[in-house]
Amino acid sequence: MSEEKRQVEKIREAFEQEFGRFANLSVENLSLSEAEDLQRELSAFRVKQTGKKSEIAGLNKLVGRIAPEERAEFGKLVQSLVADVNQSLTEADATLKTFVENAKIERERIDVTLPGTRPRAGHLHLLTILRQKIEEIFVSLGYSIEDDREIETDYYNFDALNIPEGHPARESQDTFYTTNGFALRSQTSTVQIRAMERRGVPIRIIAPGRVFRRDTPDLTHTPMFHQIEGLCVDKNITMAHLKGTVGEWLRRLFGKETRIRLRPSYFPFTEPSAEFDFSCFKCGGTGAFDGERCRPCKGSGWIELGGSGMVHPNVLRACNVDPQVYSGFAFGFGLERMCSLMYSLDDIRLMFENDVRFLEQFK
């Protein structure tokens, strides 16, 4: 019995020696990661001391070699050892577990007394702002807003707009062709054709949207830009209605003192055709601002807006509208050009580069 008892005491001493680094833990000086490492080490140490292959488990094999009258005493020694080992391991584990849980709560705690971080509010792009202003004006004049596809067939992009075969606009160096006779629309006039086919006449619409042309990007050109086109078809519509409508829109946009003028021009889809100019909103049409040459109008006092005219009879016929009964006017203006003039921008590419420092100026 004495040999077995010494073996039990030897196991106890070995345990206490190895357990020394877990005993009486001073967790206050531990970091969360160090405490979690100790938890893992303690778990492995528990398996080593109390697992099926541990020395404590091996003591059960000695029972058969002990005299029957001494087995009860030996059993009490083993049970006492097992109880002491489990209690020590449990206390150390509880200490580490409590510290880790509290440390995690403290780390994840939100101090509601701290000032909050105000999210940065976004704002509309300057092109969107201008487009919405224009749409509001035309809706108040009784126009509706139309939109449609950006990839079109040759028919809607050219044929229905009276642009004949061989016209330079139909060449691949001017138009983005895709496959099977489709192309990125080069003007939003395609929306007008589809709207007349679908809704018939009389009709009053504007068609804002993106258009695409094979232009080399520079200060005044980009391959993708925005247009806003207008269409009014009814009985007895004349150039006077065109001039009055566009004039009213410009006066509401730039001020009551705005003046307009028409210059003869040519477009395949309108006849007669005209370029629209309006008096410079910065210098008031004088050509000078603060004693210097006005920058937006380049000293002329007038700013070119875009093309317009009476809808060509061939365009009306393509939409099954009788040009002997109905007439109409159409116009198309570029939004980037208007933005550049309004904000004195030298390079329209600034509007597409998404530089926050530039865009924040237009809140």
Give percent of the chain above pLDDT 90: 33
Question: How does residue 2 score in pLDDT terms, banded at 50, 70 and 90?
Answer: low
CA distances from 38 to 85, 107, 251 (A): 17, 19, 78
Could you list the beta-strand ranges (E) of 98-218: 144-145, 151-153, 182-184, 203-212
Residue 58 pLDDT exceeds 80: no
Within 8 A by CB and 6+ apart from 352, the residues are 222, 224
**Residue 117 in domain:** no
State the pLDDT at residue 341: 77
Please report whether residue 301 resides in a domain. yes
Of 52, 82, 108, which marks where a domain is finished? 108
**What pLDDT shows up at residue 69?**
67
Residues 172 and 268 in one domain: yes
Which stretch of 16-25, 271-280, 320-329 has the lowest confidence by average pLDDT? 16-25
In a domain, 159, yes or no: yes
- Quick count: other Cβ atoms within 10 Å of Cβ 83? 10
- Same domain? For 103 and 131 the reply is no
Considering the domain architecture, whether residues 193 and 278 belong to the same structural domain is answered as yes
Q: Is residue 114 part of a domain?
A: no
Q: What is the mean pLDDT of residues 65-77?
A: 71
* Same structural domain, 91 and 203: no
Residue 39: give the domain boundaries.
2-108
Beta-strand ranges (E) seen in the chain are: 144-145, 151-153, 182-184, 203-212, 224-234, 260-267, 270-279, 288-289, 292-293, 302-311, 327-334
Q: Taking the CB of residue 316, how many other CB atoms lie within 10 A of it?
A: 21
Q: What is the mean pLDDT of residues 47-52?
A: 78
Q: What is the pLDDT of residue 32?
A: 80
For β-strands 151-153 and 182-184, DSSP reports them as antiparallel
* pLDDT exceeds 90 at position 172: no
**Lookup: tokens for 80:** 């006492």
- The reported pLDDT for the residue numbered 330 is 95
User: What pLDDT is stored for residue 65 in this prediction?
Assistant: 67
Choose one of 108, 139, 170: the last residue of a domain.
108
> Does 56 score more than 90 pLDDT?
no
Q: Which residue has the higher pLDDT, 76 or 299?
A: 299
Does residue 116 form part of some domain? no
In angstroms, the CA 227 to CA 229 distance is 6
CATH number at residue 352: 3.30.930.10
The reported pLDDT for the residue numbered 191 is 93
What are the distances in angstroms from CA 323 to CA 201, 237, 277?
A: 11, 11, 28
Q: 184 and 59, same structural domain?
A: no
Asked whether residue 285 falls in the same domain as residue 148, the answer is: yes
Mean of pLDDT values over 325-340 = 90
Query: Looking at the structure, do residues 228 and 354 belong to the same domain, yes or no?
Result: yes
- pLDDT above 90: residue 46: no
If asked whether residues 159 and 297 sit together in one domain, one would say yes
Do residues 61 and 152 share a domain? no
- pLDDT score recorded for residue 60: 67
User: How much is the pLDDT for 63?
Assistant: 64
- Of 64, 79, 108, the residue at which a domain comes to its end is 108
Neighbours of 190 (CB within 10 A): 26
User: pLDDT tens, 92-132?
Assistant: 888 888 888 888 888 888 878 888 888 888 889 999 999 99
pLDDT for the residue 41: 82
pLDDT tens string 291-301: 888 877 888 88
CA distance 243 to 348: 28
Per-residue confidence (pLDDT) for residue 117, from 0 to 100: 82
pLDDT band at 62 (very low <50, low <70, confident <90, very high): low
- Residue 241 bridge partners (DSSP): none
Element (H, E) at 37: helix 32-50
Q: In terms of domains, do 183 and 301 share one?
A: yes
Residue 26 covered by a domain: yes
How far out from the chain centre does Cα 313 lie?
44
Q: How many domains does the chain have?
A: 2
Amino acid at 134: I
The answer to whether residues 259 and 292 belong to one domain is yes
pLDDT value for 121: 82
Mean pLDDT over each residue of the chain, to the nearest integer: 85
In a domain, 118, yes or no: no
Give a yes or no: residue 27 inside a domain: yes
Question: Does residue 145 register a pLDDT over 60?
Answer: yes
One domain for residues 64 and 158 = no
pLDDT band at 326 (very low <50, low <70, confident <90, very high): very high
For the chain, what percent of residues have pLDDT higher than 70? 95
